[in-house]
Amino acid sequence: MCGIVGYVGAHNASDYLLDGLKRLEYRGYDSAGMAVLTPDGYRLARKTGRVSNLATAVQSAPMPGRVGISHTRWATHGGVTEANAHPHISSDGVFAIVHNGVIENYANMKNFLLQKGYTFSSQTDTEALVNLIAYHYAKEPENNGKNRFVESVRKALLHVQGTYGIAVLCKDHPGEIVAARKGSPLIIGLGDNENLIASDASALALKTSRVIYLKDGELALVSDRSHRVITTDDETVQTVVHQIEIGLEEYELGDFRHYMEKEIFEQPTALHNAMRGRFSDDSSTARFGGLNIDPHELRQIDRILLCACGTAWHACLVTEYLIEKYARIPVEVEYASEFRYRNSPLDKNTLVVVISQSGETIDTLAALREAKRKGFKVMAITNVVGSTIAREVDGGVYQHAGPEIGVASTKAFTSQVLIGAMIALYLGRLRDMSYSDGVAFVEALKMTPDLVSEVLNISDKIHAIAKNYAHYEDFLFLGRQNMFPIALEGALKLKEISYVHAEGYPAAEMKHGPIALVSEKCPSLFLVTDGEIFSKTLSNIQEVKARKGKVIVIASDCCEFPDGLVDDLIQIPSCHDAIQPVIASIPVQLLSYYIAVERGCDVDKPRNLAKSVTVE
């Protein structure tokens, strides 16, 4: 959720800290700050609002120094103020800390430290931790053969309940950073005579492609030329250096106004990458190299449980529809945040699948761990290689969608839906789907990028429609069968980036309550496909028009509508049922994007939201 960047090396730390924070802006935040350690002590700068405010402050009062830590904060404990912004300095002036996560027992820690004479200047849980580190440092012997800095952090963390990703400086150890994680991602970037700490690989893009992923319960001592990792139980860890592919162009806007716009138009490429090398030689089924579960085991599966949060949960709903239709396996979809606290009865032959773009979503990670604790096989669909979820599951599928910077998910969502369709195909062919049906399915999947491009080519028309609806404050999104999850996703997108109240419903459920909202001030968007339910959806549209509601329809180009029934029609190519949700998602995304632009909203950084939710 928040962002951490730390630097130790031969160069001016503040330059790299600011660059890293700018690359982490997409994660969502409300304030930013940095601390640089100089021979005269800490230089601290903190500002509410954007990183640009911090950059202006640093420019006007330079912060020379070769070791520093920085942070973008998303408020949990305490309001959005400079006093609550990170970094925090211990009241004795020895330590500085930046922290992602939530310390659940901070109140008890704070009360204990107040009794010991430590003082507090913020409302944050983080300040309790930095003072607890200072407390243990004061107690730690200087010459016990161990690094006093490391030991004080390690012992303090033994008392922490909750989640954390931290980077810590110590005035007495000017060339070192201590980093640790539990439930919040943290990466060490290895450079030439310089090393970095970051919560996301994008912050390392300019400096290195060699990284070490810290695991939960690990703590690292990092200097300019070395690193050492131990556990909080003081056991040495043998680190593994990973090579990551960081294409700087993927993090640049290019000719686009916003990252969301860029990522919408990157979808043909993202979808192509999701399929690359994943079809059998005879093009009758999908194949996956990382499932780590053989076809015999998969044939024994009686039920599938899909877990996710937010947009990924909508991808689960589409996948449920496709697996049940094409593989004839019962599927349940759970909010990951609910699953971990339920005692849901699961058959022994249940396969659990979690979906998370970042691979770090805290509730999804907790659901994964709960399922594994109960002995179930767990697979994942995720976009980030080396993420915690990717490392902890039994097997899974990488999306290969490239970095998604915009907070509102677009290319990651359609990639997840497409992979869900491929899994439905794979499982169906293991069971009773015929060879010819498999070939037709694969042909449809391969057409998806080109069909998406066709829809993107009418973006100007969708923009023109959006201008007519940008002033409305309420919206209904309605669809049936596999279009219902896209209605939910459309409503979510509009809420996220334009702050318009929007609701998604099955079209047939409209008359069971939501129709009360229909009026001249509340437009309805219908997602319509041809086939047996077309006439039913047509009746739902007529019910809205009878109540003077405006109607936008996104429909297959083979659908015909009576004159005057539809106020605005967006036609999409007719296609195989399995890829309809992907194709229909594109105009929904564009419409939401253009409405937000017309309303003057900060599309890439919507208020109160973060890209990756790593706290409960």
Q: Identify the pLDDT of residue 18.
A: 92
DSSP state of 84: T
Q: Identify the pLDDT of residue 559.
A: 87
* 105 neighbors 160 (Cβ within 8 angstroms): yes
Mean pLDDT of the chain: 91
Inside any domain, residue 153: no
**Given the residues 22, 47, 155, 611, the one annotated as active site:** 611
Rounded to a whole number of angstroms, the distance between the first and last alpha carbons of the chain is 11
Domain holding 284, by residue range, is 253-452
Residues 305 and 318 in one domain: yes
Give me the percent of the chain exceeding a pLDDT of 90. 69
Residues 221 and 269 in one domain: no
CA distance 377 to 353: 9
Residue 616 has pLDDT above 60, yes or no: no
Residues 304 and 395 in one domain: yes
For the domain that residue 54 is a member of, what is the CATH number?
Answer: 3.60.20.10
Q: Identify the pLDDT of residue 207.
A: 80
Q: Identify the pLDDT of residue 400.
A: 92
Strand order in the sheet with 195-198: 41-48, 31-38, 67-73, 3-8, 195-198, 187-190, 210-213, 242-243
Residues 468 and 440 in one domain: no
Q: Which CA distances in Å does 98 have to 70, 101, 104, 462?
A: 7, 10, 17, 43
The domain total for the chain is: 3
Summarised one tens digit per residue, pLDDT across range 463-505 is 999 999 999 999 999 999 999 999 999 999 999 999 999 999 9
Q: Identify the pLDDT of residue 613.
A: 66
Phi, psi angles (nearest 5°) of residue 219? -135, 135
Residues 285 and 404 in one domain: yes
Inside any domain, residue 75: yes
Summarised one tens digit per residue, pLDDT across range 386-442 is 888 998 999 999 999 988 888 899 999 999 999 999 999 999 999 999 999 999 999
Inside any domain, residue 588: yes
CA distance 171 to 60: 24
DSSP string, 118-180: ----SS-SHHHHHHHHHHHHHHS-SSSSS-HHHHHHHHHHTT--B-EEEEEEETTSTT-EEEE
Inside any domain, residue 402: yes
| Most confident among 171-180, 381-390, 532-541 (mean pLDDT) | 171-180
Residue 91 has pLDDT above 80, yes or no: yes
Residues 568 and 477 in one domain: yes
Inside any domain, residue 128: no
Inside any domain, residue 182: yes
3-state secondary structure of 349: coil
Inside any domain, residue 431: yes
Q: Identify the pLDDT of residue 536.
A: 85
188 Rama sector, left if φ>0, alpha if ψ -120 to 50, beta otherwise: beta
Summarised one tens digit per residue, pLDDT across range 234-289 is 999 999 998 877 666 677 788 899 999 999 999 999 999 999 999 999 999 999 98
Q: Identify the pLDDT of residue 247.
A: 61
Inside any domain, residue 145: no
Residue 588 has pLDDT above 80, yes or no: yes
Other beta carbons less than 10 A from residue 295's beta carbon: 11
Residues 408 and 431 in one domain: yes
For the domain that residue 600 is a member of, what is the CATH number?
Answer: 3.40.50.10490
Alpha-carbon Rg of the chain, whole angstroms? Answer: 26
Residues 41 and 187 in one domain: yes
Joined together, the tokens standing for residue 555 give 């429909």
For 470-562, where are the alpha helices, taking DSSP H only?
A: 484-498, 534-545
| Closest CA relative to residue 262, chosen from 399, 455, 410, 465 | 410
Task: Identify whether 575 is a catalytic site residue.
Answer: no
DSSP state of 105: T
Q: Identify the pLDDT of residue 615.
A: 57
Q: Identify the pLDDT of residue 83.
A: 92
Q: Identify the pLDDT of residue 610.
A: 63
The domain boundary, picked from 398, 422, 452, lies at: 452
CA distance 596 to 616: 28
Q: Whats the size of the chain, residue-wise?
A: 616
CA distance 209 to 173: 27
Residue 1 has pLDDT above 60, yes or no: no
Task: Identify whether 139 is a catalytic site residue.
Answer: no
The domain boundary, picked from 249, 272, 299, lies at: 249
Q: Which CA distances in Å does 277 have to 420, 446, 581?
A: 16, 12, 23
Residues 275 and 225 in one domain: no
Residue 319 has pLDDT above 80, yes or no: yes
Residues 203 and 341 in one domain: no
The domain boundary, picked from 452, 468, 484, lies at: 452
Summarised one tens digit per residue, pLDDT across range 379-393 is 999 998 888 899 899
CA distance 60 to 155: 39
Q: Which amino acid is at 524?
A: S
Q: Identify the pLDDT of residue 252.
A: 77
Residues 81 and 41 in one domain: yes
State the SS3 of 37-78: EECCEEEEEEEECCHHHHHHHHHHCCCCCCEEEEEEECCCCC
Residues 56 and 176 in one domain: yes
Query: Residue 372: which residues within 8 A CB-CB, separation 6 or more?
Result: 378, 392, 394
Return the bridge partners of 197, or none. 6, 188
**Given the residues 2, 559, 575, 601, the one annotated as active site:** 2
CA distance 164 to 508: 45
